[in-house]
Amino acid sequence: MTDYFADIPTIRFEGTETDNELAYRYYDKDRVVLGKRMEDHLRFAACFWHTFCWPGSDVFGAGTFDRPWHRGANDGPASAAKRAAAFDFFTRLDIPYYCFHDVDVMADAHTVAEHRSHFAEAVDDLERLQASSGRKLLWGTANLFGNPRFAAGGATNPDPEVFAFGAMQVRDALEATHRLGGANYVLWGGREGYETLLNTNLGRELDNLGRFLNLVVEHKHKIGFDGTILIEPKPHEPTKHQYDFDSATVYGFLKRYGLENEVKVNIEANHATLAGHTFEHEIAMANALGIFGSIDANRGDHQNGWDTDQFPNSVEEMTLAMVEIIRAGGFTTGGFNFDAKVRRQSMDAVDLFYGHIGGIDTVARGLLNAAALIEDGRIDAIKAERYAGWDGEFGQTLAGLDLAGIADLAVSNNLDPKPRSGRQERIENLINRFI
């Protein structure tokens, strides 16, 4: 099965002058940017689900891809072939990490015993493949949304048996992530929400979700997993309303259930769009709340109201996002995972490389632009000047007063503050000079 990509060489950095479409023009993994290697800044990963599990189907048509491992049932040999092809791809792409859901890497299962057995076999193989390829696990997770049993959610399901089945999957996936040296464990609540309030007990569902997440954190500490637990915000689709709407909503949930110091967020660009935010807003908000963790890199289509999971190609958007990531101190355990898929008409093996190469170079250009902006200093200086009053004598005086004291100070000083320009157009022009 490793012959599937045999005609494609390992992708290397060749610089902006190259005409080779199977080469990086901006991603030079050993280039030092702001004191750190580019590879260490960006920590790229490719995912199993869109890249190797999705057959190119949509709600109107069957799969268009003719990958060998898609043919027939997803049995043991087909699953092993898929894993081998995936690691060949990760290696040829020359990125350090990968990500998976439990069901992505294992043969199909119909019972608890089959699920545990098939997943255990897959984890044994992943451990061997990691050792032979030098690739590492950025994060693992369990799929609590695909099987029909999860139609009404996993942790929020009205049936306690589904809650228990989901707990089994998460326990095994978390322990596998720990065994494989994963840097994070992600919970995507794709169906942790509701379609209609007419049959939904919001309070019970939120409490069950809060309990489930606390149980995950407790088990993390029990087994000695020192990676980060992440929640991935998304406002809707597949459910009408999901409880993890955006970074701010997730923080409120974590705060309510005493988890704000235990769990961070994995922010997806396309999910930010669906929530009515910009990608950089979600990163900045997570940083302000102390829960910034990791990134799923992709983009949406602004003419569609659903999650299209396209590869990122906006250098401007990625520059603004990278400014916020650098301001957040960069990644610790997180990284950039490409939760993106080629289009249904991009059905050749090489198209998987074109998609990832373009996305990787877009992120790398964003990093270089953001570093230049920060080193230039003008953006930060303009922002600091705008808030300088809070660091001056008057602003410091307010810090020690109650409401009445502040009001009395305004009266005694006969205040008559005037509006001041935010200089937005000047800043936007400055940004464009670096892009």
CA–CA dist 365, 162 (Å, integer): 45
Asked about 104 being catalytic, the answer comes back as yes
Asked about 101 being catalytic, the answer comes back as yes
Identify the active-site residue in 101, 178, 219, 277: 101
Return the amino acid letter for 419.
Answer: P
User: Hey, what are 375's tokens?
Assistant: 């080193």
Identify the active-site residue in 102, 104, 244, 307: 104
Report, as residue numbers or ranges, the catalytic residues.
Answer: 101, 104
